[in-house]
Structure 1
Amino acid sequence: MEPNPKQPHTLPPTYFDKVYEANQDPWNFETSPYEREKYAATLAALPCTHYKRAFEIGCSLGILTAQLAPHCGYLLAVDVAEAALAQARKRCANLPQVDLRQLRVPEQFPQGQFDLILVSEVGYYWSPADLARAADQLVAALQPGGQLVLVHWTPPVHDYPLTGDAVHEFFLEKAQPAGPLRHLHGQRHENYRLDVLERR
């Protein structure tokens, strides 16, 4: 998938800075029954009970991060918005295995390999070209047998470059018989879908 000037651009960090400036919890992560149910479904879908090294992209306020941390020896959680990370640091202050950093994937990507990578409610912010670049980085960062968990809102949002379905279908193409991933299982709910893939 080559960059195309007619394709939409990845949403910049300033987009998220303005969103958090207007509202500390713009997507109601702390209070929404939808979010609570989705977090529970995400944790229940994990194939393993413990991971040595996990990587969460787009951790926002750190609510799912705090719930995921007990399953991890080390959890690197990143976001582009410092305002969100400030709240995540408070929430995860007593979780020494959590490493919170301001990082913009795919322009920036951490060193090392992981046995779990979580991409939850972030893939549709990328342009098609950045999705392809990020996907290559994520696959390369997964240990053999490591798992990639995708969770995304599926209704279209007018200012997002992609839909959740487009993100998942792109990764599922890498789970064809000759691809680097295999699809372990998936589920579709009213407004989101969840897919778990594994590095061959």
Structure 2
Amino acid sequence: MRETDFDARYRADPDPFEVASSWYERRKESVVLACLARQRYTAAWDCAAGTGHLVHALAPRCERVLATDGAVTAVSIIGARNAERPGVTAELNTLPTVPPAATGCDLVILAEILYYLPAQARGELLEALPASAGEVLLVHWRHHADDAWLSGPAVHLEAGRALEAAGWTGRVHHVDADFVLDSWVRCP
């Protein structure tokens, strides 16, 4: 496995994954929004917001959205794309660290990021999810990229075991030809 320099990717191309133009990305975003348990959220945290397209679509359904990314260039792109969305905050954050601003978020989005984290970091992130989170949505590409530790299905299996052990309940499981999506809710 080779590690990816996401900052270099975003400096070379402000949309390195073709989020604005690919049918895969548009379809995935629509499915993500349709699978959310609630119409409105107090606060959402998109842990690896990339270009900020999902954040832009999610913002009208949330009082506030914390959009973080580990790439400085991506954070600038997120901020610019969502400048007219007053409830959106873009911050630099390296996972598995949970930023203080994520406290109070009732929705956490883990989109196309878990398989880029080593096993220990994946476990730490899932254990550190904000106590306020009532819903966690995971969505990942089904195939195995050469710069990822695991494939999407493998990372969803691993995360599912960890979330279930921590008292979460699976709500939606969707398998597409190119991505897998799981929504988990915290049981009282």
Q: TM-score category by the smaller chain?
A: over 0.9
Q: Is the 8 Å Cα contact of residues 143 and 178 (structure 2) preserved in structure 1? A: yes
CA distance in 2, matches of 1:109, 1:161: 24
In structure 2, give the amino acid aligned to 1:110: P
Q: TM-score, normalised to structure 1's length? A: 0.87
Identity between Structure 1 and Structure 2 (%) = 29
Q: Is the 8 Å Cα contact of residues 138 and 182 (structure 2) preserved in structure 1? A: yes
Name the larger-Rg structure: 1
Q: Offset at 1:108?
A: 5.0
Kindly report the root-mean-square deviation, in angstroms, between the aligned alpha carbons of the 2 structures: 1.8
Partner residue of 2:40 out of 20, 41, 50: 50
**Structure 1 gap segments, 5+ residues each:** 1-7
CA distance in 2, matches of 1:169, 1:142: 22
Deviation by residue 1:76-130 (Cα, 9 ceiling, x = unmatched): 1100112122221111111111111011111453352321000011111100111
Partner residue of 2:79 out of 63, 83, 89: 89
Partner residue of 2:144 out of 149, 156, 161: 156
Count residues with an aligned counterpart: 186
**Most deviating of 20-29 and 186-195:** 20-29
Partner residue of 1:66 out of 56, 74, 78: 56
Q: Offset at 1:56?
A: 0.6
Q: Offset at 1:27?
A: 0.6
Q: Which residue of 2 aligns with 1:186?
A: 173
**Kindly tell me: are residues 175 and 16 of structure 1, through their superposed partners in 2, closer, same or farther at Cα, counting changes over 3 Å?**
closer
Write the mapping of 1:14-53 to structure 2, written as runs, cut at 5 A: 15-53=5-43
CA distance in 2, matches of 1:135, 1:98: 23
In structure 1, give the amino acid aligned to 2:112: E
Q: Which residue of 2 aligns with 1:3?
A: none
SS of 2:96 mapped into structure 1: coil
In structure 2, give the amino acid aligned to 1:172: G
SS of 1:166 mapped into structure 2: helix
SS of 1:194 mapped into structure 2: strand
CA distance in 1, matches of 2:6, 2:163: 31
Q: Offset at 1:179?
A: 3.7
In structure 1, give the amino acid aligned to 2:178: N
**Structure 2 gap segments, 5+ residues each:** none
Q: Is the 8 Å Cα contact of residues 127 and 162 (structure 1) preserved in structure 2? A: no
Moved over 6 A (4+): none
Deviation by residue 1:45-91 (Cα, 9 ceiling, x = unmatched): 00100000111111011111000000101111100112122221111
SS of 2:132 mapped into structure 1: strand
CA distance in 2, matches of 1:17, 1:54: 24
Partner residue of 2:132 out of 135, 143, 159: 143
